[in-house]
Structure 1
Amino acid sequence: MSTPNTPSSTAAGLPQYEVFAIRYATRGGKRANHFLGGDPHDAPMPMDYYLWLIRGNGRTVVVDTGFGREVAQRRGRTLLRLPAEGLALLDVEAAAVKDVVITHLHYDHVGTFDAFAGARFHLQDDEMAYATGRYMCHRQFNHGYEVEEVIGMVRLVYKDRVDFHRGDAELAPGITLHRIGGHTHGLQCVRVHTARGWVVLASDASHFYEHFEKKRVFTTMFNVGEAVDGYGTLLRLADSPQHVIPGHDPLVMQRYPAPNPALEGVVARLDVQPQNAA
């Protein structure tokens, strides 16, 4: 599947989807924690954790499945709500979802997959090979994975509930998957056609806005070159830099409106124009 230089030019006739970021957990941190090579500024830089909902044209797609209570406690994260509870706020029952995109198999993106009992899971070939291959012998690569979750996904392969993709793929008209790599060998992003144009859910292809804006990379990294090249891919896929949604930045909740006042700080609607863009 080719990547056009002007995505909106090919969008005629495609469905327009609603897209939501659901904040389910958070943790503190400093700038030095989030940039390879550190950072000269000793300033706070907290990290939020999201899953994403794509809805429209008779289809509901969830992107990533977060983590649960046990992992939150063990890894020192503040769990605000279970991912399934976050989806319920938007009237989505996790067990009824038919398609779940797993951007990569790190603990904070696949942790509650078993709550999605009726889903097919969409994963890159390279990610499964990476998470079960030789590089997992090394702590610097394996620390982001939970062994039982990787095993759980392998079990789903044997139950014919995983659809593997190699590179670019169309999940549905107006929803496409794109391998980025970098952070992990098989990391993928999701491109969605919306009323405001093509929105790209970067996931951990760019943890924070600052990563793709300044071409800096996160500390957990398999291939730095792929990560930096990936920023260009994100920008080519999106209609503008404001259409790229990073995977962990608290600014997402500030820049995009909640679908209703009760969900302020919990859910951000991404298919509308940002309200407080930098």
Structure 2
Amino acid sequence: MGIKIHNIVTGELENMLVGHLLNAGIHPDHTPEQVMPGGFTADHVSHYGVAAAGGMVPVPVWLLEGTEKKILIDTGLGDVDEIMEMMARHGVPTWTTKSPEQDLVAGLARHGVTPDEIDIVVLSHLHFDHIGNNHLFTKAKFLVQRSEVAQGLTPPAYCQYSYPEYSYKVADIRDRIQIIEGDYQIEPGVRLIKIGGHTPGTMVVVIDTDQGRVALAGDIMYNYKNLELNWPTGSFWSLQDLMSGYDRLHQEADIIVPGHDWEFNKRYPSGTLG
């Protein structure tokens, strides 16, 4: 039996269309309806009173079942009040929510797993919404690309979504970080591909399942519109690397899953692939 991939939502972030599609997807061949991601509306009014196309997006992590080691992809959204205060200080006020059901410990428990049972945590990259619960996994080894570490520990002032106030989330686990460079095979059926693009060391996880080879694209693709239109996100480190990554995923995978789209839950109501 192949590996199963469980989606666990750890909270929600308010996002605008310009962040999800470069230049808000404006093109003479695309209508506004054609570029609107799942859950977004053209007349969204943010919690802070700004009217623009946008909406709330999920912040998932992914639990693998059927692997030799217990593997988790990312650790998701941490304390929402801490995050909102931090982002407001950096001039990007963002409304962030987390329900009791979106607590990561509760999400793991629904699959019969505790944080102490996780052997390996793959950190696809070190933005705040992917490292928020690192502290829960006291017995895990963390896999991180070498080119990602400097930005996580000492982010430059111009790095969007990497903040010095949050670098402790990386520093506190540094004795358990395994630095990798380039593509990396964790075990049969689970492979990491270094793409970059979104950040210097962004990784995609490719998993063999009974439904085919699945690529968890993470933040190189926020939503299915990035995939369908072959249109990049509005947040990137290297646009060339990002788009080369899109091409590679089409070659590597049968199923590509974007990182922040409620459409996944419509396509896979059980929350599980494989």
The CA distance in 2 between the partners of 1:82 and 1:26, in whole Å, is: 11
Stretches of structure 1 lacking an aligned partner (at least 5 in a row): 1-14, 259-267, 272-278
Residue in structure 1 matched with residue 265 of structure 2 by the alignment: 253
Query: SS of the counterpart of 1:211?
Result: helix
Q: Which residue of structure 1 lines up, in the alignment, with residue 37 of structure 2? A: none
Instruction: Tell me how far apart the structure 1 counterparts of residues 106 and 129 of structure 2 sit (CA, whole Å).
Output: 16
SS at match of 1:46: strand
* 8 A contact 1:110–1:149 mirrored in 2: no
Segments of structure 2 that go 5 or more residues without pairing to the other structure are 27-31, 33-41, 43-52, 86-93
Same amino acid, percent of matched pairs: 27
CA–CA distance in structure 1, aligned partners of residues 180 and 259 of structure 2:
21
State how far apart, in whole Å, the 1-side matches of 2:153 and 2:84 are.
25
| Alpha-carbon shift at residue 155 of structure 1 (Å) | 4.1
* CA deviations over 1:194-224 (Å, ceiling 9, x no partner): 1112111111111111112212222221111
Structure 1 distance, partners of 2:221, 2:67, is 28
Aligned partner of 1:76 in structure 2 is: 95
SS at match of 2:204: strand
The alignment's TM-score, normalised by the length of structure 1, stands at 0.79
The answer to whether residue 243 in structure 2 is matched with residue 233 in structure 1 is no
Structure 2 residue 114 is matched with structure 1 residue 103? no
**1:65 paired residue among 48, 72, 75:** 75
Shift of 1:84: 2.1
Find the aligned partners of 2:236 and 2:7 in 1 and give their Cα distance: 24
Runs of 4+ displaced beyond 4 Å: none
- CA distance in 2 between partners of 1:223 and 1:171 (Å): 26
Aligned length: 239
User: Which residue number in structure 1 is paired with residue 156 of structure 2?
Assistant: 137
Q: After TM superposition, give the deviation of residue 62 of structure 1 in Å.
A: 0.4
Change (3 A) 1:72 1:253: farther
Task: Give the direction of change, closer, same or farther, for the CA distance of 1:146–1:94 in structure 2 (3 Å limit).
Answer: farther
Under a length normalisation based on structure 2, what TM-score does the superposition of the two structures give? Answer: 0.81
Q: 1: CA distance between counterparts of 2:214 and 2:260?
A: 16
Report the counterpart of residue 120 of structure 1 in structure 2: 141
Residue 85 and residue 28 in structure 1: after superposition, are their counterparts in 2 closer, same or farther (change >3 A)? same
